Amino acid sequence: MENFRALRKYVVPEIIYGVDSHRLAGQYAGRLGLSTVLVVSDPGVESVGWLGRVLDSLLAAGIVGVPFVAVTSNPKDYEIMAGVEQYRGAGCDGIVAVGGGSPMDCAKGIGIVCSNGGHILDYEGVDQVPQPMPPLICIPSTAGSAADVSQFAIITDTEGQRKIAIVSKSVVPDLALIDPMLTTTMDRNLTARTGMDALTHAIEAYVSNASSPFTDIHALQAVRSVAFHLLAAIDDPKSIAARNGMMFASTQAGLAFSNASLGAVHAMAHSLGGLLDSPHGDCNAFLLEHVIAYNYVSSPVRYREIGQALGFDLHGCTDGVVCEALVEGIGRFRSAVGIRGSLASQGVKPEQFSLLAEKALLDACMVTNPRRPTVKEIEAIYAAAL
Ligand SMILES: [Fe+2]
């Protein structure tokens, strides 16, 4: 039963949601009093035209947009520091990010260093960013990361071959312009892996030991929506109904995980991404069912609700049967969206398990996992997912 004495905190940016909301970038940057903004994106988003459209919107409002597209997936510490140089050199007074999780996290990193000085790796951890960032507008082009609504920025420490998590109210954007049209240019693979990321956010937030009624309602609805819309978005990429369903699901999952945090899947995926630069969504997809098998005993009621939200018929089933159905069902869903193979296909080797597990145990997301694993148990989960 909910502890009515527990204090709950819930942070959300201003959100404008809907088709064509990206066209409001210039108008809102003007309202924030900006004159020259760094526009953080990546070559993929630039090539399908969304960066150009955002620059046009800024230009129409009399605002200078300075593009910065030297961002790769799993954004690297040196990319953030290069962005800081460009921001300062061009005399920017704000940031617009247009893209998926990587450009948005990179933009957050740039903002942190521009306001606080030093190096991006100085700000690892929870509540370690003292000064607020310059104004930041995020325009997501994927339905997955929800960095546009979250208090998280994940950056790769290239020398340490690990990902750091920066969790702070200071990295919540001032405005999220969430436009499902931008996701219609994603290919099947990107749609699948970002969609599995959104599903993982929702599931981990729902079983997190920092969950609350504020986050539960969004988490569970996001699970239902991904189950309903993801295959349709993959099969019919131009379907605005499916794209809108996934974008709203991603946003709801983001509202949930931003405030309830995540768990072992993300802690272990960050470890993989840091060491091997593997795609974040694929890592989550390969690990999710195995972490559920491990975590299930700690939260059987909540996992049963997740199974029901996914549409599985669990009526009259014992906990053991529900766990099996969930693990198998998630595996089937992953295959159905086209993510085949396993961690081995990402180049993971058994001799890397102990290093991966050590790093995963130190990740900020592990703190809210409903079950506290040992290093050996994490190694066993990696082995099961190999
Ligand atoms: Fe994620």
Distance 272 CA to ligand 1 centre (A): 13
CATH 3.40.50.1970 for the 14-183 domain, yes or no? yes
Distance 24 CA to ligand 1 centre (A): 27
Is 8 or 215 the better-scoring residue by pLDDT? 215
Query: What mean pLDDT is predicted for residues 337-366?
Result: 95
pLDDT digits (tens, 9 = 90+) for 280-322: 999 999 999 999 999 999 999 999 999 999 999 999 999 999 9
Over pLDDT 70: what percentage of the chain? 99
What integer pLDDT is reported at residue 162 of this predicted model? 93
**pTM (2 d.p.):** 0.97
pLDDT digits (tens, 9 = 90+) for 81-93: 999 999 999 999 9
d(CA 108, CA 174): 11
Nearest Cα residue to 73 out of 201, 193, 179, 182: 193
pLDDT digits (tens, 9 = 90+) for 155-170: 999 999 999 999 999 9
Going from N- to C-terminal start, the domains of the chain cover 14-183, 188-385
Can you name the CATH fold of 188-385? Dehydroquinate synthase-like, alpha domain (1.20.1090)
Query: Which residue reads 């080797």 in tokens?
Result: 349
Distance 77 CA to ligand 1 centre (A): 18
Distance 101 CA to ligand 1 centre (A): 9
Instruction: Say whether pLDDT at 241 is over 60.
Output: yes
Alpha helices in 236-263 (DSSP H): 240-260
Query: Which residue reads 């995540």 in tokens?
Result: 262
How far is CA 118 from its chain centroid?
A: 25
Mean pLDDT of the chain: 96
Distance 256 CA to ligand 1 centre (A): 12
Instruction: Say whether pLDDT at 30 is over 80.
Output: yes
Contacts for 275-280: CB closer than 8 Å, 24+ residues apart: 275/161, 275/162, 275/352, 275/355, 275/356, 275/359, 276/346, 276/347, 276/348, 277/73, 277/74, 277/156, 278/346, 278/347, 279/73, 279/193, 280/73, 280/74, 280/101, 280/145, 280/154, 280/193, 280/197
Instruction: Say whether pLDDT at 107 is over 70.
Output: yes
